[in-house]
């Protein structure tokens, strides 16, 4: 979008809402392994906060969150999730079995932290992918 309407209300409300949405998204992601929510829902909320910035601030938001950042974050999340899954295969377990040989941690604690980091990486993946979809739609598919 090339033009935008100057609206003080839209700008102030967006600036007030974005941090609250992001804090709630981090809560949903980090509590995803034992309460409703998880990486996907929290990642959607993070993407929604960035898209609210995109809609309300227009071209200014590309200075805060550049156009290339979305696909980079999605790639990081996917790669880290795949590495986390394959890491337990190096120790003789199945994909995403969290059968790591970390000294001083029982199997239950390993599974707890394994699911926690899987949720965090899924959150990165969904966040970056949805912002990248928005950016591709906004330009009509051409750079």
Partner 1 sequence: MIYQLDFWLMVILVLFAILALEVRDLLAAVGVLTGFSFLMALLFAKLGAPDVALTEAALGAGLTGVFLLLALVFVGRESED
- Residues of this chain that interact with partner 1 (CB under 8 A) are 1, 28, 36-38, 40-41, 44-45, 47-48, 51, 55, 130, 133-134, 137-138, 140
Closer to partner 1 at the Cβ: 29 or 88?
29
2, 8, 55, 57 from 5: Cα distances, Å: 11, 10, 11, 9
Instruction: Please name the residues in contact with 41: beta carbons below 8 A apart, sequence gap of 6 or more.
Output: 28, 32
Closer to partner 1 at the Cβ: 37 or 88?
37
Closer to partner 1 at the Cβ: 99 or 115?
115
C-alpha span between 71 and 132 (Å, rounded): 6
Residue with tokens 């377990």, as numbered in its chain:
93
Q: How far is the CB of 6 from partner 1 (least distance, A)?
A: 19
- The distance of Cα 4 from the centroid of its chain, to the nearest Å, equals 27
Q: How far is the CB of 56 from partner 1 (least distance, A)?
A: 12
C-alpha span between 89 and 95 (Å, rounded): 6
C-alpha span between 86 and 94 (Å, rounded): 8
Closer to partner 1 at the Cβ: 10 or 110?
10
Q: How far is the CB of 8 from partner 1 (least distance, A)?
A: 22
Closer to partner 1 at the Cβ: 10 or 100?
10
Q: How far is the CB of 45 from partner 1 (least distance, A)?
A: 6
Q: How far is the CB of 123 from partner 1 (least distance, A)?
A: 12
């Amino acid at each position: 979008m090339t033009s935008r309407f100057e609206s003080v209300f839209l700008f102030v409300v967006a600036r007030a809402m974005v941090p609250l949405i992001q804090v709630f998204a981090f809560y949903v992601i980090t509590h995803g392994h034992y309460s409703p929510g998880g990486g996907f829902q929290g990642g959607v909320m993070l993407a929604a906060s960035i898209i609210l910035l995109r809609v309300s601030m227009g071209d200014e938001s590309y200075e805060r969150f550049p156009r290339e950042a979305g696909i980079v974050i999605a790639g990081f999340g996917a790669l880290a999730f795949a590495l986390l899954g394959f890491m337990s295969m190096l120790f003789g377990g199945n994909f995403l079995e969290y059968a790591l040989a970390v000294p001083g941690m029982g199997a239950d604690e390993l599974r707890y932290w394994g699911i926690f980091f899987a949720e965090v990486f899924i959150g990165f993946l969904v966040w970056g992918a949805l912002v990248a979809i928005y950016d591709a739609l906004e330009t009509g598919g051409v750079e």
